[in-house]
Structure 1
Amino acid sequence: MNALMAGGAAWTQRLFGVLLCITLVGNMQAAWGAIDYLKAMPPKGSVRQGEVVYVDDGRCPTGEVKKITGGNQMTGVPRQVECVKKPAAGAPP
């Protein structure tokens, strides 16, 4: 009986591992599948340091959007703003 229970535990662990992988891949595809574009610059302090958001406010040349990389006011790291080509829908942010 113990051998059967040990086999059942191994099967359960494998199933859990497979389900975890499917969930992670699904979440990555959802995150990379669509990029949200803000219509206006976010308020200072609202974008975490290193976080990237895109703003399509019409101030960059055609086909480009603003890429905002968050800074940190407390440590003196400035927010970075640059116009970049509009990222493809399937590209990682």
Structure 2
Amino acid sequence: MVQAILRLPAVRAESGASRSTIYLRIQQGLWPKPVRLGPRSVGWPASEVAAINIARIAGMTDDEIRNLVVKLEAARKTAANAL
């Protein structure tokens, strides 16, 4: 399955959050870590960005979002191992 990778400008547009807020949320465990695309570029799977946005819209608590982030990152590793 092909999945789009969103670069930071697209993630900012989708989430409505600034660059610094996205990276702060990563440190807090409230946003998935980026995928390395090259030596100086990163991106996020579009499905993960959408899942976090849906969780925020649904009013999930920070703890629930942290659990979601753990699940998303685990699913990313599982998918990679399946290749």
Give yes or no for TM over 0.5. Answer: no
For the pair shown, which has the larger CA radius of gyration, 1 or 2?
1
Higher relative contact order (CA 8 A, sep 6+): 2
TM category (shorter chain) comes to: under 0.3
Structure with bigger helix share is 2
**TM-score, L = length of structure 1:** 0.24
**TM-score, L = length of structure 2:** 0.27
